[in-house]
Amino acid sequence: MHAQRTEQAADLRRLDNTHVWHPFAPMTAYREEGAPIIERGEGFHLFDVEGRRYLDGISSLWCNVHGHHVPEIDAAVRAQLDRVAHTTLLGLASTPSIELAQQLVERTPRGLTKVFFSDSGATAVEAALKIAFQYHRQRPGGSDERNLFATVRGAYHGDTIGSVSVGSIELFHRVYGKLLFETVSVPSPSGFRFPLGMTQSDYYAHCLDELERVISTHARRLAAFVMEPLVQGAAGILVHPPGYLSRVRQLTTDYGVPLIADEVAVGFGRTGTLFACEQEDVSPDILCLGKGLTGGYLPVAATLATDEIFDAFLGDPSEGRTFFHGHTYTGNPLGCAAAIASLALFEKNRVLENVAASSKLLAGRLRQLADHPHVAEVRQRGVMVGIELVQDRMSGRPFDARLRMGHQVTLAARKRGVILRPLGDVVVLMPAPAMPQELVTTLCDVAFEAINEATRAAAN
């Protein structure tokens, strides 16, 4: 049986290397290393075609919430499959999409009453950008001058052209520069490297000054301010200081600039509350959701907006005020059924209480890295953790990029039965919000061992 599995794995790996183009993967290195080929999931573990078991330490790219093969979500999808797998929302409605929209409005920050469905975080953001742009041209007293978006440096909002335009991760985005539209940005208030001569408090004061300067200077042109609340995920789990989000909300309100909150990565419990905006009592004008919306089962995303924004799109069809945007699988019934079941599990299984316990456990364990010679900073909010690796802790000197140190840590963790994925040389721990404490402990144990192995090898 083992020989048969090994032969099957070899055949699949050959076909994978021949035909599949993997996202965010340097394909030459990927082919040489031979990644696990996942066959099934159970609870918080994944199993490959050779029968090896791995703890899912990144929630299947930050989307899994309750684990894999969850009976309640499985049953909801099967029940919907017995009715209909997909119908369009273009000119028709569907029961699951209506029910899910209602439940999202009930749970999201106040004032968000309209739900536009799409199929990924990027498309949720893309819809938000187009909604904001069109809103200004159609609202009473609107202006065609509102054609500029403000962003936070280091932002990541997805990979469609609009979402890349409001992103600013050089490695991901520089090659597409000539395709992108104009934006203005403010400095990220997080990170451990500051301009020469500035302390951390000096730098944060500078960030707040720049925030007000940019918004006030460009207010007449700004279609919206776009940000990831509390944590900039793909930038390396950059955690914003308390009060920054509420200051953005105050300034955007004062200057009449809509606020788009991208909670694709931070939503559904990962920062400690169901939605990150709750922690500073912020209600954005537009909210983007994805990833954990379906519990990590199916690609459904949502863009929520206020009545004020929605009303600018109302009128006789001949007026052309329609939002001419949509996707074939918008509001897919199977995905909506999974999302409804996932939301029910938050209450049934007290998932947010588990997040609080896991957050406390992680904070205690992460203190073990406080004096690690190759750890510059540990950043945590809820169950989102970024461990920044450096060649030298005292000077902050980074490892040579050719070493791919973050990746070496993931390889060392994989040998120990844990799946991790880094952001450059930032090792990310992203346990599912419902992951039991004993598995969070295992995740920490293996991650620390892997960091030690990889950094020792580089030092020798």
Element (H, E) at 117: strand 112-118
CA–CA separation, 233 vs 238, rounded Å?
7
- On whether the CB atoms of residues 259 and 248 are closer than 8 A, the answer is yes
Q: What is the pLDDT along the chain (460 residues), one digit of tens a residue?
A: 677 778 888 999 999 999 999 999 999 999 999 899 999 999 999 999 999 999 999 999 999 999 999 999 999 999 999 999 999 999 999 999 999 999 999 999 999 999 999 999 999 999 999 999 999 999 999 889 999 999 999 999 999 999 999 998 888 888 999 999 999 999 999 977 888 889 999 999 999 999 999 999 999 999 999 999 999 999 999 999 999 999 999 999 999 999 999 999 999 999 999 999 999 999 999 999 999 999 999 999 999 999 999 999 999 999 999 999 999 999 999 999 999 999 999 999 999 999 999 999 999 999 999 999 999 999 999 999 999 999 999 888 999 999 999 999 999 999 999 999 999 999 999 999 999 999 999 999 999 999 999 999 877 6
pTM greater than 0.85: yes
Amino acid 375: pLDDT = 97
User: Minimal CA–CA distance to 182: which of 210, 215, 220, 223?
Assistant: 223
> C-alpha angle 327/329/332, rounded to 5°?
135
- pLDDT score, position 117: 98
Note whether 335 and 146 are within 8 A (CB).
Answer: no
For residue 195, what are the contacts with CB-CB under 8 A and spacing of at least 6? 203, 206
Alpha-carbon torsion 453, 63, 295, 349, what sign? positive
The pLDDT, as a whole number, for residue 223 is: 98
Task: State which H helix or E strand residue 55 sits in.
Answer: strand 53-56
Q: What is the dihedral of CA 410, 415, 416, 418, to 10 degrees?
A: 40
Which domains can be identified in the chain, with CATH numbers? 36-66+350-459 (3.90.1150.10), 73-348 (3.40.640.10)
pLDDT at 1: 63
Check the CA dihedral 22-121-328-342 and report its sign: positive
Among 381, 108, 114, 376, smallest CA distance to 266 is for: 381
Strands 183-186, 238-239: pairing is unpaired
Q: What pLDDT, on the 0 to 100 scale, is given for residue 427?
A: 98
What is the longest distance spanned by two Cα atoms in the chain?
72
Closest CA to 405 of 361, 458, 357: 458
Give residue 61's identity as a one-letter amino acid code.
L
**DSSP string across 366-398:** HGGGTT-TTEEEEEEETTEEEEEE-SBTTTTBP
Torsion sign (Cα): 431, 380, 154, 131: positive
Give the separation between CA 241 and CA 204, rounded to whole angstroms: 8
What six digits make up the tokens of 68? 């894999």
Helix (H, G, I), strand (E, B) or coil at 187: coil
